[in-house]
Structure 1
């Protein structure tokens, strides 16, 4: 499946002296500079009727630029009729509330049955958008809100917002231990040096910042609201484990489960039975990539985390403790 693209424009005084790829990215902001560079190299760009193939070429005022190309289908996965909990949808974007136990993107061990497969079924044209419009991911067993771009221009704008840290993503989590105050974890995250499937705090990792505040204290656990400033793989899970408050149920980062001192047998059973990280993307705020309207969505905390919270409250109350 292909989509033909025809673009026309004129360089103005603001473009004088710019590189061609830089000027075109400014003239056609719906498309990324890397994509425009590819179009230049493949001969899809003409200036005043003549083909140009050098991205570094300088532009001058009043030149007429034309781009004629096609967007090839970017996705090779197959569509699958998988139900999506769609919170919002228009012709440019959709926002979904992801359940637990659903992988976002195909990979080793999960070649289908993913959100990407579901998107291809729900919106076939999304095959023309890189990664089927997926702008950011949630881990397999993390629940909550994700935004997906249905067109290349929408994706370009959303990715730019993410990179500029203009999209607000808030999470609810339940962690081991009782925190006394909120705070910020500012620690680089990179691939774990020994464990291939793990991430870790490491000096050579990428800058990563997580802000958190206390939502509710329990006898030996804490419910948190967290906000991502960056979006690294497993960021919240790694950062909270780094400060010695790993997420309840986290199969990778909580370490060997230890019995909660003084907890009833029922409470111990609840904790042992919580088999995923207690993490939910509860709030999403962004500027609509086409209308520029500021939009926000909320996703209710899922039932398993609600029941865990109720059990922790009961455990706290049984021991005559209030927070």
Structure 2
């Protein structure tokens, strides 16, 4: 299903000589340039009653613009009363602390019970926003902070901010291996050449940059703080695996468990029981897409990662750092 919208406006004289796509982007800032270009190419833009589908056509000013366009409507998905841990909410955005196990968007094998279904119930008007305002995702079993747009202007601006790398996201993670120092991974990520549900570092992938620093060292594990410059699918998980420090519990990229030598049974039990990637979106910082106010949120590390950290500390206290 789609939602029909109609926009009419007179081209201001100061836009004389500019291209149609540039003029419309300036006249209708609530919509992204890519969306406006799609409208032009889809024959949805009229100039003085004349259909125009050439984005490069120059305008003189004073023309009457009429746009009859369609926007995706997410009402085809069911609204469901699913509890949300809402950290912040106003008329334009909301920030949630996502639990492990919650899928963000319906897809193959997950047609309901998702964050999108929960958002449609919590804020019915969000059905008018593409993808119900979801501008970035966390994997099903990654916990932590996500920002969601409640209106089209907020969604447009947040997407532009994300593309311009103006939204700061920091994560905590626990990785296999004793890392000596922090650093940066700058390697492109794309689909795995043979395992189509996996991602991988590949020369044909999209640019991806992950910064990481050591927060705490254990005998054969490291607690990390990571910051993303880009937001590729599985980015942290793939990059940490690429440098041979996969995340504890990662069912896709970590391989078999790697306990330290002579680990006590108590630690082995905790490691065996940790069935998800040890990854948590701990901090989110951005300028409000409408007011411009700088905002920052923090989400405490979930109990399962706290328990894992404590077990690793106790193991290190017993055996010291030298018995790798």
TM-score, length of structure 1 as denominator length: 0.93
Map of 1:1-323 to 2, 5 A cutoff? 2=3, 4-13=5-14, 15-41=15-41, 44-47=44-47, 49-54=48-53, 55-67=55-67, 71=71, 73-321=73-321
Distance in 2 between the 1:5 and 1:299 partners? 41
CA RMSD of aligned residues (A): 1.9
1:66 positional shift = 4.5
Distance in 1 between the 2:3 and 2:78 partners? 16
Q: State the secondary structure of the residue aligned to 2:76.
A: coil
Change (3 A) 1:321 1:34: closer
CA shift digits 1:208-266 (9 cap, x unpaired): 10000111111111100000000000000000000000000000011122342121111
Q: Give structure 1 stretches of 5+ with no counterpart.
A: none
Q: State the secondary structure of the residue aligned to 2:154.
A: helix
Q: State the secondary structure of the residue aligned to 1:59.
A: coil
Change (3 A) 1:42 1:190: closer
1:275 positional shift = 0.5
CA shift digits 1:89-115 (9 cap, x unpaired): 111111000000110001111111100
Distance in 2 between the 1:7 and 1:74 partners? 25
TM-score, length of structure 2 as denominator length: 0.93
1:63 positional shift = 3.6
Q: State the secondary structure of the residue aligned to 1:156.
A: helix
Change (3 A) 1:88 1:3: farther
Native 8 Å contact 1:75 1:131 kept in 2? no
Change (3 A) 1:12 1:283: farther
Instruction: Single out whichever of 197-206 and 312-321 deviates more from structure 2.
Output: 312-321
Q: Give structure 2 stretches of 5+ with no counterpart.
A: none
Aligned pair count reads: 320
